Amino acid sequence: MIRLPNAIMAFAKDDVNVYERFVDYFNHFHGKTGKFDDQISLSEKKEKINFQIREQIGKLANVPNVGGIAPEVLATAPLYQWATFAVIGAMVDAILPDAIIDSIGLYTDLRVGGYGDSFAFDIEARDLFVVSKYGHAGRSAEVKKQFKGQVTIVPEFREITVQTSLYKVLAGLEDMAEFAMKAARSIETQMSYDAYAAFDTAMTALPTTGTNTLKVAGYTQGDLVHLGQTVTAWNGGRKAVIVGTQLALQNILPADVNYRYSLDSEYVKMGYIKTAFGFDIMVLPQVADYKTEFSLALNDSKIYVVSPSGDKLIKGALEGATMSNVTNAYTNANLTDNVTMRKSWGFAVATSSIAALITL
């Protein structure tokens, strides 16, 4: 059973099968073992989903029998055009929260709300109360009081504008499942950029002065263990976890020049050690940086020490449903439609937890 967001359940009412299948298709495409039905191939799923999408669009547009109407006739109906991208937008929203958590969930708490919702995050005080020595005859010691902080995130609109050919639309050659998939991946990737940028900026800004710094240059086993202990202790005993890209994590090795590892060892198989010096080690999935050809977005020269079970360092706000509009192809000389999809989100540092950084 695939769990869908409440907004998608309300939009689909009793007909959620196409959205569940699209989530399964998305998971299958990304190879998420255990989250999809592997009894049929990916291409077969896409074919079945495209058929279901057309049926769902027809139902929403109040067209009783889509199969009996030529695609070129349907394409000229304004209500059918609206229903097409309403369904595609709902499919994007169905997978987005879970998809983005896989890449940023170690350090980000994502809140999903409707348009106009307030995204305010309360920040608990990290310090404990001071315990004072006092006499038996005193009524009360020095009074202590703590106050919560609050960080408000105002989501910002982002847009994707894609050009489609009227000829392909009329011929029924536009692959709606593939379009929805690429739209979801585009939004997911940009959200990953934004969340990581907020996280890395905060970590890079950690002070390096003083004896109890949370930021060190150059990896040593002693520094890693010290930072792990510090983060664990100051986050209320919530165990620190070492995170970074696979390339960064391969540097975490024992400070012993005589160690050996075999060809079937965990390090050789995975490229990093899953547990070291009492701390779990977890990989941040690398993300393609499409602004520069073949570049990667996550920094391969940084190792982060965080407490994922505590208050996450970054808070995210995902506002409202995906909105879209389509231009009229007949207003363009080359008979193309411009499809614009809009989504609103924001990320910010909002936490009382601490974290640490090792730059390699």
Q: Which residues contact 182 (CB under 8 A, 6 or more apart)?
A: none
Task: Single out the residue of 39, 73, 74 nearest to residue 57, CA to CA.
Answer: 74
Rounding to the nearest 10 degrees, give the CA dihedral for residues 110, 271, 185, 200. Answer: 50
| Low-confidence winner among 74-78, 88-92, 139-143 (lowest mean pLDDT) | 74-78
Q: What integer pLDDT is reported at residue 71 of this predicted model?
A: 67
Q: Which amino acid is at 254?
A: P
Distance of CA 68 to the CA centre of its chain: 41
Q: How many residues does the chain have?
A: 360
What average pLDDT does the segment 109-128 reach?
89
Using 50, 70 and 90 to split pLDDT, how confident is the model at 255? confident
Classify the phi-psi angles of 31: left when phi > 0, otherwise alpha if psi is within -120 to 50, otherwise beta.
left
pLDDT > 70? residue 101: yes
Is residue 24 within 8 A of residue 45, CB to CB? The reply is yes
Is residue 270 within 8 A of residue 310, CB to CB? The reply is no
Q: What pTM, to 2 d.p., does this model score?
A: 0.87
Say how far apart CA 173 and CA 75 lie, in whole Å: 12
Using 50, 70 and 90 to split pLDDT, how confident is the model at 308? very high
Q: How, if at all, do strands 241-244 and 279-283 pair?
A: parallel
Say how far apart CA 157 and CA 320 lie, in whole Å: 10
Q: Residue 115 CB: number of other CB atoms within 10 A?
A: 10
pLDDT tens column, 161-213: 888 776 676 566 678 888 888 888 999 999 999 999 999 999 999 987 777 79
Token reading at 195: 């969340």
